[in-house]
Amino acid sequence: MLSRGWRVTGCDISASMLALARGKAGEGAELSVADMRELPFFGGFDLVWALDDAVNYLLDADELAQALSGMRRNLAPTGLLLFDVNTLLAYRTFFAETELIERGGRRLLWQGQAAPDMPPGSICEAHLSVDDASEPLATHRQRHFPEAEALEALDGAGLQCLDVFGITYDGIPRRPLDEAVHTKAIYIARAAG
Ligand SMILES: C[S@@+](CC[C@H](N)C(=O)[O-])C[C@H]1O[C@@H](n2cnc3c(N)ncnc32)[C@H](O)[C@@H]1O
């Protein structure tokens, strides 16, 4: 977005993730530590997005409502909101499977803990470890948000859903979202009224 000439503001709850972002963006973007459940007012933005696996770290409908209300407060009157969440398929496969990832001479082990038939709306975990370590480096804890719940949360936050897409690993957005076929759902919304 910076190279396309946009003014960019970013936030994350993790200072170390922001340090990585700072490494990529240089001084071109304003970056702040912030929890999306208690978003400060950064300004009125033409586009607010939370893409590629951020919203799923919210663990219940109240947290989703808080985050969407904060994003709504940061929208310009004609601004758009864009976010994604993982689908049932993603939790029943990626979060239920073990995968060995070899990159840059390091071996990382992803161990999904979810059941392959986990019910919609469940919280799922996956452990990420260095291959030979006994303790996981990180545990990823995420909640599945079914489409009906996401739409209800948007409505409750004063947002009008404009469209919902599903994507698979080819990254091409398609309608209608099918939680048994797509790995991510993408929502586009704007302030209601
Ligand atoms: C899977 S990462 C994706 C990061 C980003 N999409 C990227 O491609 O670099 C998820 C991010 O969400 C952040 N996160 C999780 N819960 C958050 C919260 N409550 N508020 C703000 N950021 C949060 C994590 O710190 C992490 O950086």
**What one-character-per-residue DSSP string does 176-192 give?**
S--TTT-SEEEEEEEE-
Sequence-distant contacts of 31-38: CB under 8 A, at least 24 apart: 36/11, 36/67, 36/70, 36/71, 37/63, 37/66, 37/67, 37/70, 38/66, 38/70
Tell me how far apart the alpha carbons of residues 19 and 145 are, in angstroms, rounded to a whole number. Answer: 29
Per-residue model confidence (pLDDT) at position 131: 79
Is residue 41 a part of any domain in this protein?
no
**What one-character-per-residue DSSP string does 110-132 give?**
EEE-S-TTPPTT-EEEEEEEETT
Question: What's 53's domain CATH number?
Answer: 3.40.50.150
Give me ligand 1 centre to Cα 53, in Å. Answer: 7
How do residues 82-123 score in pLDDT, each as one tens digit? 999 999 999 999 999 999 999 888 899 999 999 999 999 999
Per-residue model confidence (pLDDT) at position 103: 87
In whole angstroms, what separates CA 46 from the centre of its chain? 19
Domain shared by 117 and 134, yes or no = yes
Question: Tokens 């799923």 — which residue?
Answer: 56
The stretches of 85-173 forming alpha helices (DSSP H) are 88-92, 147-156
Query: Percent of the chain at pLDDT above 90?
Result: 93
Domain shared by 160 and 76, yes or no = yes
Is residue 115 a part of any domain in this protein?
yes
Give me ligand 1 centre to Cα 176, in Å. Answer: 26
Is residue 92 a part of any domain in this protein?
no
Domain shared by 118 and 135, yes or no = yes
Query: Percent of the chain at pLDDT above 70?
Result: 100
Tell me how far apart the alpha carbons of residues 99 and 112 are, in angstroms, rounded to a whole number. Answer: 8
Question: What domain range includes position 128?
Answer: 97-141
| Mean of pLDDT over the chain | 96
**What is the rounded average pLDDT of the residues 122-143?**
92
Rounded to the nearest 10 degrees, how much is the dihedral formed by the CA atoms of 24, 41, 38, 82? Answer: -60
The stretches of the chain forming alpha helices (DSSP H) are 15-25, 61-73, 88-92, 147-156
User: Is 52 a pocket residue for ligand 1 (Cβ < 6 Å)?
Assistant: yes
Per-residue model confidence (pLDDT) at position 156: 98
Domain shared by 167 and 78, yes or no = yes
Q: Which atom of ligand 1 is nearest to the CA of 17?
A: 27
Count of domains observed in the chain = 3
Domain shared by 30 and 110, yes or no = no
Partners of 9 in beta bridges: 30
Domain shared by 103 and 114, yes or no = yes
User: Is 49 a pocket residue for ligand 1 (Cβ < 6 Å)?
Assistant: no
Q: Which atom of ligand 1 is nearest to the CA of 37?
A: 19
User: Is 16 a pocket residue for ligand 1 (Cβ < 6 Å)?
Assistant: no
Residue 184 has pLDDT above 90, yes or no: yes
Claim: this prediction has a pTM higher than 0.85: yes
User: Is 128 a pocket residue for ligand 1 (Cβ < 6 Å)?
Assistant: no
Give me ligand 1 centre to Cα 31, in Å. Answer: 13
Q: Which atom of ligand 1 is nearest to the CA of 63?
A: 19
User: 67 exposed, middle or buried (CB, 10 Å; 0-12, 13-18, 19+)?
Assistant: buried
Q: Which residue of 9, 11, 14, 42 sits with most ligand 1 atoms within 8 Å of its CB, as the best mutation to test the pocket?
A: 14
Q: Which atom of ligand 1 is nearest to the CA of 50?
A: 6
CA-based nearest residue to 190, from 115, 92, 84, 82: 82
At 26, the pLDDT band (50, 70, 90 cuts) reads very high
Is residue 40 a part of any domain in this protein?
no
Per-residue model confidence (pLDDT) at position 109: 93
Give the pair of three-digit tokens for residue 29.
């973007």
How do residues 34-85 score in pLDDT, each as one tens digit? 999 999 999 999 999 999 999 999 999 999 999 999 999 999 999 999 999 9
Which residue's CA lies nearest to atom 7 of ligand 1?
A: 52
Degrees, nearest 5: CA angle 80-166-120? 105
Domain shared by 82 and 155, yes or no = yes
